[in-house]
Chain A
Amino acid sequence: QSVVTQAPSASATPGQRVTISCSGGSSNIGRNAVSWYQQLPGAAPRLLIYNNNERPSGVPDRFSGSRSGTSASLAISGLQSEDEADYYCASWDDSLFALVFGGGTRLTVL
């Protein structure tokens, strides 16, 4: 059981906006930056968001991140079929002195 939790699944139809949430505590998300990763089926993970809301070059602006208190969110607008993947959040935890990943959310594009 991770100290950072995500809903195991989410779904939406093409063109919609979907939000994936990541819930933590005061020792992780509440005080440290959050990053988000996309893992397509059979592929390695890819960085989508770092430092809560910054996008690396090459990541479409359909992907956006935010943090509020001890929770963080990844929003995907204009959903496309190729967005069907597992999404993970991560944050440093000062109590565990470890980087913690959320359990992942599997996004299905209906």
Chain B
Amino acid sequence: EVQVLESGGDLVHPGGSLRLSCVVSGFSFARYALSWVRQAPGKGLQWVASFSGSGGDTYYTDSVKGRFTISRDNSKSTLYLQMNSLRVDDTGVYYCATNGGAAFYYYNSMDVWGKGTAVAVSS
């Protein structure tokens, strides 16, 4: 069974930084794309970033380009999201999810989700 576990969420001031981690088990980690999706309080889902498997490409939603960096350590089965220059509208629950294949462009369904980690950006 695939299990996804996020961590790293916290309360941070505007302009601050945070790094989220996502450990995936029961899964051929290196072969698959992985993604971050967030949900602001009381709002819908918003795709944030993805990293294709097998040393592939990265993808970002426009609002986080230049501020967030997605990375992965296949030896640790861990996905990261480095978030810099945080803004109030980055507040929400951040979910990590596995995708259905290596190439995110083609396999972009979010197959298995973690329970999420909460990020609050406030002064």
Q: Which residue on chain B has the smallest CB distance to residue A102?
A: B44
Is the pair A100, B47 in contact by a Cβ cutoff of 8 Å? Answer: yes
Q: A44-B116, A45-B95, A98-B61 are in contact. Are A56 and B111 (CB under 8 A)?
A: yes
**Distance from A62 Cβ to chain B, minimum over Cβ atoms (Å):** 19
Structural contact, A104 and B100, CB atoms closer than 8 A: no
Count A-B contacts at CB 8 Å. Answer: 62
B18 at the interface (CB under 8 A from A): no
Does residue B109 face the partner (Cβ distance < 8 Å to A)?
A: yes
Q: Which bucket holds chain B's interface residue count?
A: 20 to 34
Q: Which label, helix, strand, loop or mixed, suits the secondary structure of the B interface?
A: strand
CB distance from A63 to the nearest CB of B (A): 14
The smallest C-beta distance from A37 to any residue of chain B, in angstroms, reads 7
B76 within 8 A of A: no
Residues in B52-86 with C-beta less than 8 Å from chain A: 59, 61-62
Binding site for A on B (CB under 8 A): 35, 37, 44-47, 50, 59, 61-62, 95, 100, 105, 108-116
Q: Which residues of A contact B (CB under 8 A)?
A: 2, 33, 35, 37, 39, 44-47, 50-51, 56, 86, 88, 90, 92, 96-104
